[in-house]
Amino acid sequence: MFFARESCFVFLLSLIQFTHILDFMIMMPLGRNFESQFQITPKEFSVLISSYTYSAFFAGILSSLFIDRFNRRITALFLYSGFILGTLLCGIANTYWLLFAGRILAGAFGGIITSVLFSFVGDLIPEERRGRATGVIMAAFSAAAVIGVPISLEISGLFGWNAVFLSIVFISCLILLLMYLILPHVTIEKETKESNLQGLNDIVRSKRYLPSYLLIASVILGGFTVIPFFAPYLERNVGVSKDHLSLIYFIGGSITFFSARLIGSLSDRYGKKKMFYILVPLACIPILFFTNLKPGSIFLTILCTSGFMALVSARLIPAMALITSTVDPKQRGRFMTIVSAIQNLASGMGATIGGLILTVKDIHSPYQNFEWVGILAVVFNVAALVCVSKVFSSIEYLKLKQNGGVI
């Protein structure tokens, strides 16, 4: 019965993550729609993508001042309600700037929700099952690709891109009701009366947490310099049709859905650090292949994109499981909010950097210089390999401290 309740709880967290990821992910395959309707360049499109993540970054920093002062359940309900309102604004947008405003509002609330989800995991899931739980939540990325993107593209083709966001709003309202019924109350007792600003300052400046911040930034930049231009590149440079684009997301997402759960279990069994060392070099292979992909066999394209989606997302599973284990439980909400803020900042920076490197002659011509974007992504992945050993040392320090070995 206990494991059934835990599984139900983790599944609900994955549903929340699913809508948040889909709301963000669907912007990329709809990129050509935005470029055509609003007559925008790749740089302006990258602004639409990064506006969500930059907004989430600033909101995350602000919320980290007080997030550990509130019940986790209340915080999650409030943030998810704000995310729904932002997505609703996207659904009724009829201009570039109104859509831009909707992305900022959705990012301000939705971007923080991930930190609350992983705080729940850290608070309620034992360390020996944390990798599996993380894998289930991270599988929401795959579910968004398998189910969300193909269906959303069909909705877009039938009713227009605005209907996609309105559909997400409808689903999210149902999930909000489930959150109200299922989410447990989790309140962290504070041992000290330190000010919010002092508590934030201690966590941000802590040398023990710095490797975690550098790790998440490197991992995100190692994928997000490429990811925002995934679908537009396939359409512009590789000649992939809308139908084949849906197929690519379906197949790649299906593989990632099962591989994410497998990676989570393997991380618990063989060690999160070891799995990260294996997955990062493997992920660099499809990154380089994808950013040099040319028109040709659809089978080769699907093989390359599936490897890209599975391996690039897989790196996050052991990385996040390691990061959630580095922090004292009394600081976890605030710490994970900062981690999420850095993750969003890195996502925005990745989109911005990629948009600055890419050039086009007009809104219909192929991207140029995408191979350099791939090389830069590999450099960030190498940096992540350097950071992970120091994160592991932080975990060992915390275990020693909790066992009374550090004064």
Confirm whether 306 is domain-assigned.
yes
The pLDDT value recorded for residue 407 is: 41
- Cα-to-chain-centroid distance, residue 21: 7
Task: List, as one string, the DSSP characters of 386-399.
Answer: HHHHHHHHHHHHHH
Q: Distance (Å, rounded) from C-alpha 250 to C-alpha 142?
A: 9
> Which residues of the chain are modeled with pLDDT < 50?
1-2, 191, 406-407
Confirm whether 192 is domain-assigned.
no
CATH number for the domain spanning 77: value is 1.20.1250.20
Q: Distance (Å, rounded) from C-alpha 316 to C-alpha 305?
A: 18
Confirm whether 339 is domain-assigned.
yes
pLDDT in tens, 102-138: 999 998 888 778 777 877 776 777 766 766 777 777 7
The pLDDT value recorded for residue 200 is: 63
Q: Distance (Å, rounded) from C-alpha 112 to C-alpha 315?
A: 21
Q: Distance (Å, rounded) from C-alpha 39 to C-alpha 46?
A: 14
Confirm whether 265 is domain-assigned.
yes
pLDDT in tens, 261-286: 788 888 888 888 889 999 999 999 99
Provide the domain count of the chain: 1
Per the structure block, which two tokens stand in for 38? Answer: 């609003």
The pLDDT value recorded for residue 395 is: 61
The pLDDT value recorded for residue 1 is: 44
Confirm whether 267 is domain-assigned.
yes
Average pLDDT of the residues of the chain: 81
Domain extent at residue 40: 2-185+197-402
Q: Distance (Å, rounded) from C-alpha 49 to C-alpha 376?
A: 19
The pLDDT value recorded for residue 283 is: 94
The pLDDT value recorded for residue 84 is: 94
Confirm whether 246 is domain-assigned.
yes
Confirm whether 191 is domain-assigned.
no
Q: Distance (Å, rounded) from C-alpha 232 to C-alpha 365?
A: 11
Confirm whether 201 is domain-assigned.
yes
